[in-house]
Amino acid sequence: MAIKDIESYQDLLYELQTYRDEAGVGYPQIANLLPAKEQVCAIDLDSRTIKTPGYLSVQYDHNAEIVYFKVNRYMDNMDLANTVCIIEYLNAPHTEGKAVVQDPGVYWVPFYDVSHYDVEIDKNGEEIVTPVMYIPWAIGGLATAYAGTITFTVRFYVLDDNKNFLYNMSTRPTKADILHGLDLTNDDALSAFYLESSIVQQIYNDLTTVERNATTYWEDAYR
């Protein structure tokens, strides 16, 4: 699916929202996050900003790094666990011919972890309990194809059957670094590895990889 205008973009979002696998399962699913020492980036819903670490991944890595976003589960009256979440990004600037370009990509978030709470004590000594969610981004080869600074946002949305937004909330664009890496693969293999036939295909590829490695990072909350 080529993304040429707002209509084709919303077609893509609707396809993600209504997708079901062979077992009839849609995404995102609710899961419990297994203990892992991975990077956690806090999302501030009031300012729509993301606190990022010094870097996200290393050039040429593919699903080697998982970054988790921590966000309050509720935004005003909306339970974000009932929305679809995608991470939209532009990879690091690079040269194609005489032009400097950035390739767009979309990561479809397959799991939410809603089992956590933040607890604070107010000035009166009362506990304030805030439900939070953890959201994973398995950073793929398109995002890390070039070293430098990438730009990304996190979007939560719901569409109706006419593909109109019932809910749409996005963070502000955030920048983070992809560190230089050493490429020891041949040119033909590399070009075939990173070649994208469509954004949808990339999303399905990412989802399949996350599902295949699910036992490493996630466990079903209802087992």
- What is the per-residue pLDDT across 93-140, written as a single tens digit (0 to 9) for each? 999 999 999 999 999 999 999 988 999 998 888 999 999 999 999 999
> What amino acid is encoded at 183 in this protein?
D
Give the pLDDT confidence score for residue 161 in this predicted structure. Answer: 94
DSSP 86-131: EEEEE---EEETTEEE--EEEEE--EEEEEEEEEEE-TTS-EEEEE
Give the pLDDT confidence score for residue 2 in this predicted structure. Answer: 53
Q: How confident is the model at residue 4 (pLDDT cuts 50, 70, 90)?
A: low
Question: Per the confidence metrics, is the pTM higher than 0.85?
Answer: no
Provide the CA 117 distance to its chain's centre, in angstroms.
Answer: 21
Query: pLDDT exceeding 70 applies to what percent of the chain?
Result: 78
Q: Is the dihedral of CA 171, 95, 137, 120 positive or negative?
A: negative
d(CA 165, CA 175): 26
Q: For residue 11, give the nearest of 2, 23, 20, 21 by alpha carbon.
A: 2
Higher pLDDT, 223 or 181: 181
3-state secondary structure 25-81: CCCCEEEEECCCCCEEEEEECCCCEEECCCCCEECCCCCCCEEEEEEECEECCEEHH
- The pLDDT of residue 202 is above 80: no
